Amino acid sequence: MLIVENLRKVYRVHKKEAGLKGSIKSLFVRKWIDKEAVKGISFSIEPGEIVGLIGANGAGKTTLAKMLSGIIHPTSGQATILGHTPWHRDNAYRKDMTLLMGQKASLWWDLPAMDSYLLLKDIYQINNEDFNKRLEHMSTALDVKDQLNIQVRRLSLGERMKVELIAALLHAPKIIFLDEPTIGLDLTSQKAIRDFLHDYKKQHKPIIILTSHYMQDIEDLCKRIIILKEGEIVYDGSIEHIKQYVSQEKVIHVQFESSWKQDELDTFLAGAPTGICDITQTSLSELQIRLEKKELTSVMNFILSHGKILDLKIGGIDISEVIENIQREGISE
Amino acid sequence: MNSPFPSWMISAFKMEWRNILSYRIDFWINFVGITIIQFLVAYFLWTSIFSTSGVTEIKGMSFPMLMLYYILAPLTLRATSGLIMGFMFNDIYSGGLNKYLLYPLSYINFKLVTQYARTLFYLLQILLVFILFTLFFPIPAQVELSLLNSILFLLTIIVGGYLYFMLASIFEMISFWADNIWSLMVMLRIIISIFGGLMIPLHFFPTWAQQVLNLLPFRYLISFPIRTFLGQLSTSEIALGFSVMIFWAIILTGAVQIMWKKGNRQYSGIGI
């Protein structure tokens, strides 16, 4: 069980004016500003749950992950994870926890991954049998068996990410923070990592908090998502709930043969049937229309009666668009 | 097989050795470069001093004795200082510290183990160089080699290495608060070189200065181990030296622990 109450983190950073003049000034006087990265958030997570943490750059995802993994101290607030306070960093907690940061290497750069694994085996006191079994299983599943004896710095990005993932999970942690685990990977590697995490979840029933910019990762792995905006939670709920929006709406892109003048567009808008949520003119002759799915026929008829059509595309809404929208405007219940 | 150390210490020790060996060129350049260049500089300088002044001894040190000292000094400092400058600064500055904070072990202990891995490595270099020296030059008459002195030498290197590690850690940990502390660390190096006996042997200093230096930690990184090894110190001098070392070890350990605690609260882990 993971419980977070009113967690808050303020960074104090100094502001420097650009240029040499600013640098010289800052030698004598420093302007400090407080940057509130996480603004008193609360939530809880049950074991066996994978929660997707979503937010724009600087929304506070990484800060949250760092506090919950104990790397940094919060400014105020509480967190209890399996009975431990993360930033007290007792060994019992650290043995049960892992944090994988996609942009940061944790393996020793100049050594083959295998050397690092052997050290981790001793750090986490993993017995031989478990170690061999897990390593065999993971390196087969992620297809990196041949890469384990090559210096980490000579591996490709995808291979490196996979050997990092193995390092993070060798001790079979119960609490897992994954910060962009598929960043910069090709689709095949992304899928391999997702499948692997699915499998891990089934086997170990851990608490997983996953941040990713790839919606595919979140959709595939998480039932629940938390959306952060400027350090605050703007949505905490099931991904299904958000998908309902997606399934209820359609988007039509239509390109007419002739361009539209403003008054023609106004007439068109005035006469439009109900069920249209939003119309944008993407170019002089093109429209993008978002509408309720059940009104598709009437809207299509209306469009066809308004001029000769060159091209027409009907599609669903991308879930990432909806989430982007929530991040911008909040959610309407 | 029960070892008195946690098993991670042994594998961290071994891993540091693999790390050192993965940079072969760096190893040879350091070894040959430092030893030979420092030696040649000292050789030409002191040859001319001895020949112009016409003496056979300076402050009780004959020319061969002085040369042996100058060969051993940089190697001894390397053994006691072990890790390269910036060993904590780099982790703190770049966020590399994050991974160590996740592991169920103490970061400082981990670094200390890697430091001693390097110390052992450099000790083997000292042995090699000493053997080479004795092949080409006679052992100076003033030198008294003995098993006891060699064991005491090992002990001074172990405790001296600890002192260096704690002293350097205090400087390196200032980077929790300040962005760049490179100049501070260079300053520490210079202080150690001068007051530790790398530049000139400490008994060339005036007596009052020597008495002060006896109470400071610096000479225990270079001068004290060498003179212990060569049998130049009396039993009471050695006993006093060890007492001072233990005193500083306790003080510096306390200071490091306080700084580590405070610095940790300050640490932002880089990036938001």
State how far the Cα of A26 lies from the Cα of A94, in Å rounded to an integer: 39
* CATH class of segment(s) A249-329: alpha beta
Has residue A263 got a pLDDT over 90?
Answer: no
* B-chain residues near A70 (CB < 8 A): 101-102
B105-120 mean pLDDT: 93
Q: What is the mean pLDDT of chain B?
A: 88
What pLDDT, on a 0 to 100 scale, did the predictor assign at position A133? 94
Q: What is the mean pLDDT of chain A?
A: 86
Q: Across the interface, do B18 and A123 touch by the CB < 8 Å criterion?
A: no
What pLDDT, on a 0 to 100 scale, did the predictor assign at position B3? 65
Three-class SS of residue A222? Answer: coil
| Distances in whole angstroms, Cα of residue B113 to Cα of each of B47, B78, B118 | 41, 16, 9
Q: How far is CA A307 from the centre of its chain?
A: 43
Task: Return the closest-CA partner of residue A147 out of A130, A164, A129, A128.
Answer: A164
Has residue A124 got a pLDDT over 90?
Answer: yes
Chain B: nearest CA to A135, how far in angstroms? Answer: 18
A235-249 mean pLDDT: 81
Please tell me which of A213-217, A262-266, B15-19, B207-211 the model is most confident about, judged by mean pLDDT: B207-211
What pLDDT, on a 0 to 100 scale, did the predictor assign at position B2? 57
Instruction: Tell me the backbone φ, ψ of residue B86, rounded to 5 degrees.
Output: 95, 10
What pLDDT, on a 0 to 100 scale, did the predictor assign at position B258? 96
Nearest to B104 among A72, A121, A123 (CB): A123
Q: Across the interface, do B101 and A71 touch by the CB < 8 Å criterion?
A: yes
State how far the Cα of A280 lies from the Cα of B38, in Å rounded to an integer: 76
Has residue B271 got a pLDDT over 70?
Answer: no
Q: Residue B27 domain-assigned?
A: yes
Has residue B1 got a pLDDT over 60?
Answer: no
Instruction: Tell me the backbone φ, ψ of residue A56, rounded to 5 degrees.
Output: -65, 175
A214 pLDDT band (50/70/90 cuts)? confident
| Distances in whole angstroms, Cα of residue B46 to Cα of each of A33, A95, B63 | 57, 58, 8
Has residue A114 got a pLDDT over 70?
Answer: yes
* A-chain residues near B272 (CB < 8 A): 11, 35, 37, 58, 60, 62-63
Chain B: nearest CA to A292, how far in angstroms? Answer: 39
What pLDDT, on a 0 to 100 scale, did the predictor assign at position A188? 86
- β-pairing, A207-211 vs A175-179, is parallel
B111-122 mean pLDDT: 92
CA dihedral angle for residue A213, residue A219, residue A224, residue A228, rounded to 10 degrees: 20
State how far the Cα of A151 lies from the Cα of A173, in Å rounded to an integer: 25
* Closest-approach residue (CA) in chain A for B23: A110
**Using one digit for the tens of pLDDT, what is the confidence trace for A54-91?**
888 888 888 999 999 999 999 999 999 999 999 999 99
Whether chain B has a CB inside 8 Å of the CB on A75: the answer is no
**Using one digit for the tens of pLDDT, what is the confidence trace for A19-56?**
777 777 777 777 788 888 999 999 999 988 999 998 88
Three-class SS of residue A240? Answer: helix
The better pLDDT of the pair B140, B167 is held by B167
Contact status, residue A70 vs residue A87, Cβ threshold 8 Å: yes
Q: Tokens representing A2?
A: 């993971």
Nearest to B19 among A101, A104, A111 (CB): A111
Chain A: nearest CA to B100, how far in angstroms? Answer: 9
Residue A288's region, left for phi above 0, alpha for psi from -120 to 50, else beta, is beta
Q: Which domain holds residue B39?
A: 7-266
Nearest to A63 among B15, B104, B272 (CB): B272
Q: Across the interface, do A122 and B264 touch by the CB < 8 Å criterion?
A: no
Can you tell me the ipTM of this complex? 0.79
Has residue A324 got a pLDDT over 80?
Answer: no
Has residue B17 got a pLDDT over 90?
Answer: no
A288 pLDDT band (50/70/90 cuts)? confident
Q: Across the interface, do B98 and A71 touch by the CB < 8 Å criterion?
A: yes
Chain A: nearest CA to B20, how far in angstroms? Answer: 10
Q: Cβ contacts of residue A247 below 8 Å, gap of 6+?
A: A293, A316
Task: Return the closest-CA partner of residue B201 out of B78, B80, B58.
Answer: B58
User: A119, A154, A171: best mutation site toward chain B, by most B Cβ within 10 Å?
Assistant: A119
Nearest to A118 among B11, B22, B271 (CB): B11
* B-chain residues near A94 (CB < 8 A): 102-104
Q: Across the interface, do A119 and B98 touch by the CB < 8 Å criterion?
A: no
State how far the Cα of B72 lies from the Cα of B197, in Å rounded to an integer: 11
Please tell me the total count of domains within chain B. 1
Task: Return the closest-CA partner of residue B20 out of B94, B74, B88, B84.
Answer: B84
Q: Residue B149 domain-assigned?
A: yes
Has residue A333 got a pLDDT over 50?
Answer: no
Q: What is the DSSP string of A180-215?
A: STTTT--HHHHHHHHHHHHHHHHHH--EEEEE-S-H
* A-chain residues near B18 (CB < 8 A): 111, 115
Has residue A176 got a pLDDT over 90?
Answer: yes
Has residue B160 got a pLDDT over 90?
Answer: yes
Nearest to A122 among B7, B268, B269 (CB): B7
| Distances in whole angstroms, Cα of residue A44 to Cα of each of A93, A226, A236 | 17, 11, 10
Chain A: nearest CA to B86, how far in angstroms? Answer: 17
Task: Return the closest-CA partner of residue A201 out of A48, A45, A46.
Answer: A48
Domain residue spans of chain A:
2-230, 249-329
CATH architecture assignment, domain A2-230: 3-Layer(aba) Sandwich (3.40)
**Using one digit for the tens of pLDDT, what is the confidence trace for B84-102?**
788 899 888 888 898 899 9
What pLDDT, on a 0 to 100 scale, did the predictor assign at position B42? 85
State how far the Cα of A70 lies from the Cα of A51, in Å rounded to an integer: 19
State how far the Cα of A239 lies from the Cα of A52, in Å rounded to an integer: 9
Residue that the structure tokens 């306790």 belong to: B250
Has residue B272 got a pLDDT over 70?
Answer: no
- Specify the DSSP element, H or E, that contains A292: strand A286-292
Has residue A261 got a pLDDT over 80?
Answer: no
The better pLDDT of the pair B125, A274 is held by B125
Lowest mean pLDDT among A129-133, A203-207, A314-318, B207-211: A314-318
Q: Tokens representing A212?
A: 């990713």
